[in-house]
Amino acid sequence: MAFVDLKGVSLTYRLGKDTTLALADATFGIEKGEFIAVVGPSGCGKSTIMKLVTGLLPPSGGEVMVDGKKVKGPIKGVGMAFQNPTLMPWRTTMNNILLPMEVVEPHKRRFRSHRAEYVERAMKLLKTVGLTDFADKYPWQLSGGMQQRSNLCRALIHEPELLMLDEPFGALDAFTREELWGVMQALWLEKRFTGVLVTHDLREAVYLADTVYVMSRRPGRIVLAKKIDIPRPRTLATTFEPHFVDIVHELRDRIHQEHAP
Amino acid sequence: MTDLRREALKHAMPWLFLAGLLIVWEVSCIVFQVPEIILPKPTKIFAVFFQRFDILMAYCWDTLWTTTVGFLLAIAFGLLLGLAIGASPFVYSGLYPLLIAFNAIPKVAIVPILMIWVGVGSLPAVITAFVISFFPIVVNVATGLATIEPEMRDVLRSLGASRLEILTKVGIPRAMPYLFASLKVAITLAFIGSVISETVGGNNGIGFLMLSASARNDAPTTFAGLFAIAIMGVAMYAVCAMVEKRMTRWAFRGEIVA
Ligand SMILES: Nc1ncnc2c1ncn2[C@@H]1O[C@H](COP(=O)(O)OP(=O)(O)OP(=O)(O)O)[C@@H](O)[C@H]1O
Ligand SMILES: [Mg+2]
């Protein structure tokens, strides 16, 4: 069985009498060490899927399994970068990034005594995203893109087995973004975590993922699962190769069908 | 330069108004020949203020410490209760209506009861200060907790944090600006509480001093006491406002100008 397994999962948001069917009948599996991308029109339930997989939301129907166990509450060992960078305004960037270390075992036990070591680790991460000079700044002193990069660092620092990224590069300029694709890929090649990436950028999806899932409009269903058979490491040059471009076009056509009523 | 001057003028305005008020007061007392026993002239009040400075200080000191002790108790108790109410919907629905009802009782009404229980002295003042000032603290802390962005909580939940960790890492820091904002209100109330208690049934404190001075028809001393109260009240408020600025810089998002 797959590492992450969704069987007929649906979700209805409810507020009093007001209900929204956000996700309908999602069925797919993610192998251990696989990196998948989810694309689809805005509001189709991508963020919802992320919250279902990590157990932040209970499904209204169907079943979510992670690592062979049914998900009943928030699961451990996840790194999650939320769509809007939810950094804590009372902590500096550094302390925000170190937050998982204060909560997640086994780091939690060692954190106080080995603080310097963890700070160094965080600094290394900050360096890869180009934020070395901002470690001691507060989140509200950072730009939107900088906040997003810090957010990414926080998701990565405890080297989670399962990494959930909800549009982590959305607020970045094209150059920084492409640079971070490289960083992300290198990290994955080294650690081989299981990754889920939500994005609106099809090139990004094809660059990073083993499988790209295309979702329909709300209520979201998975309408296409596209295996990306391009060998790694992929480079920026790869993104201009005909095969890469063909895949992007195929995905784009499929999403266009979703937009046309 | 003109900008600077405007800024300086803005800061001087309250003092100018105060001075103006005192002058109008002084002049009207002279022009209308108001008897001193009804409304003494400010100059007379200040004269008495400095003449009896030692006595005033002694009584002020009494009020100051009863207020402070009551206030500190209110912070400790208010924080705990506020956290309990904010963190648990059950405690919230159980206690909140009772708190509102309790807050609706005019606190001066409890002073006689306190006197039956603990006699006269400093204790009723401390208790009144406490009782009257813990309410805004409780409400503010509870509000701070109850309005945490769910996303913020989700960050910790997704890391597998326990309820206690969520409370200490998000709840409490998030509630702090609310706590500190409530302190300004609470200290003023605590001060009102202790002075009320001294006035209704005390044997020391500035409230008692004013009461006994007025019983002797000593209007200047009564007014000197009023001035002392005003100064103390403003000073305590200023201290709380300063602490608030210090402790919750992030909530004010710093100053932008270079
Ligand atoms: N907390 C909520 N309460 C009620 N409805 C919600 C809530 N969160 C999301 N929804 C609804 O669920 C649907 C899916 O939302 P979701 O956030 O999963 O979309 P998304 O695919 O992530 O969109 P985007 O690409 O714009 O981020 C939307 O129609 C939205 O209105
Ligand atoms: Mg989303």
> ipTM of the assembly?
0.85
Query: Count of CB atoms within 10 A of residue B76's CB?
Result: 13
The reported pLDDT for the residue numbered A261 is 63
pLDDT at B256 over 70: no
Cα–Cα distance, B161 to B155 (Å, whole number): 9
Q: Which atom of ligand 1 is nearest to the CA of A200?
A: 25
Per cent of chain A over pLDDT 90 is 61
The domain that contains A156 carries what CATH number? Answer: 3.40.50.300
Cα–Cα distance, B149 to A85 (Å, whole number): 12
Nearest residue in chain B measured CA to CA from A95: B169
The reported pLDDT for the residue numbered B257 is 46
CA atoms within 13 A on the CB side of A216: 12
Q: Does the Cβ of A12 fall within 6 Å of ligand 1?
A: no
Q: How many helices (H) and strands (E) does chain B have?
A: 12, 0
The total number of residues written for chain B in this structure: 258
A56 or B119, which is more confident: A56
pLDDT at B117 over 80: yes
Domains of chain B (ranges, CATH numbers): 40-251 (1.10.3720.10)
- Contact residues, chain A, for B161 at CB < 8 Å: 103
Q: Sign of the CA dihedral B165, B170, B176, B181?
A: negative
Distance from Cα A169 to the centre of ligand 1, integer Å: 19
The reported pLDDT for the residue numbered A88 is 92
CB B93 within 8 A of CB B150: no
Q: What is the pLDDT of residues A46-93, one digit of tens each?
A: 999 999 999 999 999 999 999 888 998 888 878 999 888 889 999 999
Domain extent, residue A9, equals 4-259
Q: What is the mean pLDDT of residues B117-139?
A: 89
Q: Which atom of ligand 1 is nearest to the CA of A218?
A: 29
Cα–Cα distance, B164 to B71 (Å, whole number): 27
B255 or B149, which is more confident: B149
pTM of this prediction?
A: 0.82
Residue A233 neighbours by CB under 8 Å, 6+ apart: A185, A186, A189
Q: What is the mean pLDDT of residues A160-182?
A: 90
Q: Does B173 touch chain A (CB under 8 A)?
A: yes
Tally of domains in chain A: 1
Q: Which of A84, A91, A103 sits opposite B156 (nearest CB)?
A: A103
Cβ contact, residue pair A56, B154, below 8 Å: yes
Cα–Cα distance, B8 to A217 (Å, whole number): 60
Q: Does A102 touch chain B (CB under 8 A)?
A: yes
